Chain A
Amino acid sequence: MSAADAISAQNARLGSTSLLEIRDIAKRFGQTEVLKNISLQIAGGEFLTLLGESGSGKTTLLRLIAGFEQPTSGEIWMSSERLDTLPPYKRRVNTVFQNYALFPHLNVRENVAYGLRVKSAPKNEIAARVEDALGMVKMRDFADARPATLSGGQQQRIALARALINRPQLLLLDEPLSALDANLRKQMQSELKALQREIGIAFLFVTHDQDEAMALSDRIALLRNGALEQVAPPREIYSRPATAYAAQFIGQTNLLRGEVRGECATCGAIRIYPVTGPDGPATFSLRPEAIKGFLDSAAAMAAPYMTFKATIRQQTYAGSTELLEVECAGQILRVRVPAGDPLQGEHQFVFSPRDAVRIRD
Chain B
Amino acid sequence: MYSRTYKTLVAAPPLFWISLFLLLPYALMFAHSFWLVRDGFVVQQWNLQNYRALFTNPLYLQVFLRTARIAGSVTLCSLLLGYPLAYFLSFHAGARKELLYQLVIVPLWVSYLVRGYAWKTILGSDGVLNGFLQYLHITHEPVSFFLYSPFAVILMLTHIYTPFVFLPIYAALEHIPRPLLEASQDLGANRRATFLRVILPLSLPGLLAGATFAFVLSLGDFLAPLLVGGPSATMIANIVQSLFGAAYDWPLGAAISVCILLITISLLFATEHLEKRWSFK
A contacts, CB < 8 Å to B? 66-68, 87-89, 93-95, 97-99, 101-105, 114-115, 117-119, 146, 148, 162-163, 165-166
Contact = CB atoms under 8 A, between A and B. Distances in A.
Query: Which one of B183, B185, B190, B193 has the greatest number of beta carbons of chain A within 10 Å?
Result: B183
User: Which of A99, A101, A163, A165 has the most chain B CB atoms closer than 10 A to its own CB?
Assistant: A101
Contacts of A66: 182, 186
B201 A115 contact: no
**Chain B: interface secondary structure?**
helix
A114 B187 contact: yes
Contacts of B281: 104, 148
11 contacts: A67-B185, A68-B185, A87-B185, A97-B183, A101-B177, A102-B183, A103-B183, A104-B180, A114-B197, A148-B281, A163-B186
Contacts of B278: 105
Dominant SS at the A interface?
loop
A166 B188 contact: yes
B202 interface: yes
A101 B179 contact: yes
B198 A103 contact: yes
B121 interface: no
B197 A101 contact: no
Given A103-B180, A162-B187, A165-B187, 7 more contacts: A66-B182, A95-B182, A101-B182, A103-B184, A114-B189, A119-B188, A146-B280
Interface of B: 177, 179-180, 182-190, 193, 197-198, 201-202, 278, 280-281
B70 to A, nearest CB: 33
A119 to B, nearest CB: 6
A166 B189 CA distance: 12
B185 A89 contact: yes
B281 to A, nearest CB: 7
Nearest to A98: B179
A148 B184 CA distance: 18
A303 B180 CA distance: 62
Contacts of A105: 198, 201-202, 278, 280
Contacts of B197: 114, 117-118
A148 B179 contact: no
A117 B197 CA distance: 10
B183 A68 contact: no
A97 B182 contact: yes
B183 A104 contact: no
